[in-house]
Chain A
Amino acid sequence: MQIPCPLCGLRDSREFTCKGDAVTLDRPAADAPAGDWHAYLHLRDNPAGPTRELWYHGGGCGAWLVVMRNTATHAVSGAVLASEARHAG
């Protein structure tokens, strides 16, 4: 598996750590109801197909990426910087 880092180019997945579903970017407000925090921490769509995930390029530029990947085939279709993905909404 290779991941196209926007800063470093196409790199081996060994350089990255997967954090999991990119829903973790949508952090609830500190005073949000407990149910929102439960959903944020625990509940997942867990799709069998296309997904958006957070990967950390620890063995490269140190950036957090949002990686588009297919969980059924392991095909990676793209990656953007997490900071930009968040601004894009």
Chain B
Amino acid sequence: MRYSGLQVLAQGLTGNRGWRPAWRDPAPKDEYDIVIIGGGGHGLSTAYYLAREHGLTNIAVLEKGYLGGGNVGRNTTIVRANYQLEGNSQFYSHSLKLWEGLEADLNYNVMHSQRGLINLFHSDGQRDAFVRRGNMMINQGDDAILLDREGCRKLLPYLDYEQTRFPIYGGLYHPRGGTARHDAVAWGYARGADRRGVDLIQQCEVTGIDIVGGRVTGLQTSRGAIRAKKVGIVVAGRSSQVAAMAGMRLPIESHVLQAFVTEGLKPVIDHVISYGMGHFYISQSDKGGLVFGGDLDFYASYAARGNLPMAEHVAEAGMSLMPMIGKARTLRSWGGIMDMSPDGSPIIDRTDIEGLYLNCGWCYGGFKAVPGSGHCFAHLMATDRPHPAAERYRLDRFATGHGLMDEEGTGSQHNLH
């Protein structure tokens, strides 16, 4: 069923009895041309673009839980293209352009809201770094505007500008940055893939990868064996476990990132704001909740929940930036399992096993990448050649040292990003 305003009206007038499930619930077939492991944002978008761009439809997505139950439904939904390094900047630029046409393409409202993102800076050195970043964004063809303190005040009058600890010098404004409804992105891609014939198979955990003579031949799952000519691993925080089924050891550590949401409030924060000191960022959801977060807890974790010290740190950072939020009550906090790579940048590549492909290392920034990653991974899986926008996301960069992409300049080692 195509969604439209007319459809909403017609259904509303007929008791909403005509709505149908947005995707089928098929049993797994014995064999597929391509199987994607992981029904998160990246797995679903990969399946969608394999069908849409490459005309491949004998495809299954295997998800051990339910679609969108992983990080894609747990993130703070920031979508932006303000990366600076060669490799990252073209990729995120590519992804943002896909976002901008996504709702029409999917015929699905993902509530993509380009409300503008402002990265605050608090010292001369930080301003210089942001001027450089802004110039790189502009050279890439994206948008960046340098705001001084007064410019920030106009957009964000409620910040504490005069604080002695981290006075606000200004901000780098990225008007095309913003947010989207995370679940809707998973659902929209799921529906789009299903409508093109992709089998979305939930409650189906992959437990083994069959390899014969260096070539992948299929998978063992909780719902039986499935043969496959090509397999894509797209399991975010579980990448190490699934890759180990193919005998691989990855340059990945899984860490917990927490997020928080307050009770619903009248509109107070129009943009996405990130604090340049004491890692903290915030936006307001369409339901009115303030959605905010900070750093990783900085220890390996699969618990999908964090500990109090980081919750306190985030709250303190928020209070020092915008004391007004102290009146809001936090409703919920949660955590997601992040696939951290040593240099903080992702991997979209083939593996040494014929027919086995790997997509991981998204760290805490993979939501904005959902369209770009699926698009580029589908290209790689269908054509066996990297998409130009993602050709730097090589797995071997850690072994060779060529092409490491360390945006923060902190070093290519675990636990530094």
B307 adjacent to A74 (CB under 8 Å): yes
Interface size on B, residues (CB 8 A): 25
B301 on the interface (CB 8 Å rule)? yes
How close is A71's CB to chain B, nearest CB, in angstroms? 5
User: Does A18 lie at the interface of the complex (its beta carbon under 8 Å from any beta carbon of B)?
Assistant: yes
Q: How many A-B residue pairs have CB under 8 A?
A: 71
Of the stretches B96-104, B184-192, B245-253, the one at the interface is: B245-253
Indicate if the CB atoms of A14 and B342 lie closer than 8 Å: no
Contact yes or no, B415 A20, CB < 8 A: yes
- Per the 8 Å Cβ criterion, residues 15-45 of A in contact with B are 17-21, 34-35, 38-39, 41-45
Do B309 and A53 have beta carbons less than 8 Å apart? no
Inter-chain contacts of B9 with A (CB < 8 A)? none
> Which of chain A's residues have a CB closer than 8 A to the CB of B244?
45
State A44–B341 Cα separation when bound (angstroms): 10
30 of the cross-chain contacts (CB-CB < 8 Å) are A18-B298, A18-B415, A19-B415, A20-B253, A20-B300, A21-B414, A34-B399, A35-B399, A38-B399, A41-B412, A42-B251, A42-B342, A42-B398, A42-B399, A42-B414, A44-B240, A44-B249, A44-B250, A44-B251, A44-B414, A45-B244, A46-B240, A46-B253, A46-B300, A47-B240, A48-B241, A48-B254, A48-B302, A71-B300, A71-B301
A1, B307: Cβ atoms under 8 Å? yes
B413 close to chain A: CB less than 8 A: yes
Asked whether B212 is an interface residue with its Cβ less than 8 Å from the other chain, the reply is no
Residues of A contacting B249 in the complex (Cβ-Cβ under 8 angstroms):
39, 43-45
CB 8 Å contact bits of A57-88 with B (1 = contact, 0 = none): 00000000000010111100000000000000
CB-based contact A13/B309 at 8 Å: yes
Bound-state CA distance A34–B400 (Å) is: 9
B: residues with CB less than 8 A from A are 238, 240-241, 244, 249-254, 298-303, 307, 309, 342, 398-399, 412-415
Report the bound CA distance from A70 to B171 in whole Å: 41
What class of interface size applies to chain A in its complex with B? 20 to 34
> Are A18 and B414 also in contact (CB < 8 A) when A42-B398, A43-B250 are?
no
Are B307 and A46 in contact, CB atoms less than 8 angstroms apart?
Answer: no
Given A44-B240, A48-B241 in contact, is the A13-B254 Cβ separation under 8 Å? no
Interface centre among A14, A45, A47, A74 (most CB of B within 10 A): A74
Instruction: Check A45–B300 contact: CB distance below 8 A.
Output: no
Q: Which residues from chain B contact A21 at a C-beta distance below 8 Å?
A: 253, 300, 414
Q: How far is the CB of B347 from chain A (nearest CB, A)?
A: 11
- Closest B residue by C-beta to A51: B300
Smallest beta-carbon distance A31→chain B, Å: 17
Q: Complex: how many Å from CA A47 to CA B298?
A: 16
A71 to B301, CA, bound (A): 4
Which residue of B is nearest A38, CB measured?
Answer: B399
Give the residues in chain B near A35, CB-CB below 8 Å: 399
Nearest CB in chain B: distance from A34 CB, A: 8
In the complex, the answer to whether B253 meets A72 with C-beta atoms within 8 Å is no
CB nearest to A42 among chain B residues:
B251
Which single member of B300, B303, B412 contacts A73 (CB below 8 Å)? B303
Q: CA A73 – CA B299 in complex, angstroms? A: 12
Cβ B254 vs Cβ A74 within 8 A? no
Known: A38-B399, A45-B244. 9 other contacts (CB 8 A): A20-B414, A34-B399, A41-B342, A42-B414, A44-B240, A44-B253, A45-B249, A46-B241, A74-B303
Query: Which A residues are CB-close (under 8 A) to B241?
Result: 46, 48
User: Which residue of chain B is the closest to A41 with respect to CB atoms?
Assistant: B413
Shortest Cβ distance from B313 into chain A, in angstroms? 10
> Hey, which chain A residues are within 8 Å of B413, CB to CB?
41
What separation, in Å, do the CA atoms of A19 and B253 have in the docked complex?
A: 12
Candidates A14, A19, A72; contact of B302 at CB < 8 Å: A72
Residue from A35, A46, A48 whose CB has the most chain B CB atoms within 10 Å: A46
Cβ of B322 to closest chain A Cβ, rounded Å: 25
Task: Determine the distance from Cα of A9 to Cα of B307 in the docked complex, in whole angstroms.
Answer: 20
CA distance A73 to B399 in the complex (A): 32
